[in-house]
């Protein structure tokens, strides 16, 4: 079943929207992911996570937000690094708001952002909030959800996949989570011989501007991907998409149409 909006013809798309299909908007980034992975990891993984979820619940996946908010040193290595190409927060907000309003114009009433880039979240939230505020009473039957896919990896799975301890999702930039998912979904885009196997980055518990580049590990990764495997990626995709499907079904099930 085709779930990706840009692969559908306009008439099939309109029919699905008319039948009440939720629209899931992947939100990614163009950001360095170490020497072993390409720049579009967040965009690719948010799109595939949304795709897997959409298959389960009969949703449509919107064309992704390919660029995201500025990479932060404590969660993405920082915006100073080569290749990392980011949008100002107001622009991410405006894009998120515009997309919500566009899908509502098409007839959608249930919209979810499937976030794949840590730093996007609050700007997606702001965009959704501004869209609903602008709609006012006209948006009374509209519901928007925000989900970051890693929040749907449960404790039991974390224990299984990180037997030597889990450092937190913020430090998972270019680490086991993303690398395993890429090994499962796009192994041809991963070069495990280039993984830098270093201990998790030790970053201060504050931010400083301009950044001090020496705080970011030379690899650009905040934790090691050495333990990444395609099998872990399969489990992560399965667990996160099942969890998101459940949350979306339960929230959007409340809508009376």
42: annotated active-site residue = yes
Least spacing, CB of residue 178 vs Mn ion, in Å: 8
- Contact pattern from residue 7 through residue 46 relative to Mn ion, giving x for each residue in contact according to CB under 5 A and a dash for the rest: ----------------------x-x----------x----
Query: In the structure encoding, which two tokens stand for residue 42, read together?
Result: 């967040």
178 is catalytic: yes
Comparison of 48 and 117: residue with beta carbon closer to Mn ion: 117
C-alpha–C-alpha distance, residues 158 and 92, integer Å: 31
Give SS3 for 59. coil
DSSP string across 17-33: HHTT--EEEEE--B---
Nearer to Mn ion, 170 or 246 (CB): 170
Residue 172 touches Mn ion, criterion: CB under 5 A = no
Determine whether 173 is an active site residue: yes
Catalytic residue among 31, 36, 52, 184: 31
Structure tokens at 136: 């006012």
Q: Does 97 bind Mn ion (CB under 5 A)?
A: no
**Chain residue whose CB lies nearest Zn ion:** 42
- Name the minimum Å distance from CB 68 to Mn ion: 7
- Rounded Cα distance between 178 and 242, Å, is 18
Assess 47 for contact with Mn ion (CB under 5 A).
no
233 makes contact with Mn ion (CB under 5 A): no
Outline where the chain has alpha helix (H): 10-18, 41-57, 73-76, 89-106, 121-135, 155-161, 176-185, 230-252
C-alpha span between 219 and 144 (Å, rounded): 37
Strand order in the sheet with 23-27: 60-61, 23-27, 110-115, 143-148
Q: Is 222 helix (H, G, I), strand (E, B) or coil?
A: coil
Interaction of residue 178 with Mn ion, rule CB under 5 A: no
Select the residue interacting with Zn ion from 21, 27, 40, 42 (CB under 5 A). Answer: 42
112 contact choice in Mn ion, Zn ion, none (CB below 5 to 8 Å, kind-dependent): none
Q: Which of 36, 70, 97, 117 binds Mn ion (CB under 5 A)?
A: 117
Q: Which residues are known catalytic residues?
A: 31, 33, 42, 117, 119, 173, 178
Residue numbers at the binding site for Zn ion (CB under 5 A): 41-42
């Amino acid at each position: 079943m085709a779930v990706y909006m840009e692969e559908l013809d306009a008439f099939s798309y309109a029919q699905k929207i008319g039948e009440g299909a939720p629209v899931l908007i992947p939100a990614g980034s163009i950001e360095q992911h170490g020497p072993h992975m390409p720049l579009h990891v967040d965009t690719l993984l948010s799109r595939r996570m949304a795709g897997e979820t959409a298959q389960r619940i009969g949703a449509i996946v919107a064309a992704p937000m390919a660029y995201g908010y500025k990479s932060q040193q404590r969660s993405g290595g920082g915006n100073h690094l080569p290749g990392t190409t980011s949008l100002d927060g107001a622009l991410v907000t405006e894009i998120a708001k515009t997309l919500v309003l566009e899908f509502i114009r098409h007839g959608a009433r249930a919209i979810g952002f499937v976030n794949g880039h840590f730093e996007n979240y609050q700007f997606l939230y702001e965009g959704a909030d501004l869209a609903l505020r602008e709609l006012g009473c006209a948006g009374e039957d509209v519901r928007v959800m925000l989900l970051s896919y890693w929040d749907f990896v449960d404790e039991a799975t974390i224990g299984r996949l990180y037997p030597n301890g889990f450092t937190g999702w913020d430090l998972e930039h270019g680490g086991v989570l993303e690398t395993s998912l890429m090994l499962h979904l796009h192994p041809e885009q991963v070069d495990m011989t280039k993984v830098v196997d270093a201990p998790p980055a030790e970053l201060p518990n504050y931010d400083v501007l301009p950044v001090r580049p020496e705080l970011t590990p030379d690899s650009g990764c905040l934790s090691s991907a050495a333990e990444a495997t395609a099998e872990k990626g399969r489990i992560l995709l399965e667990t996160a998409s099942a969890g998101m499907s459940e949350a979306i079904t339960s929230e959007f099930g409340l809508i009376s149409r």
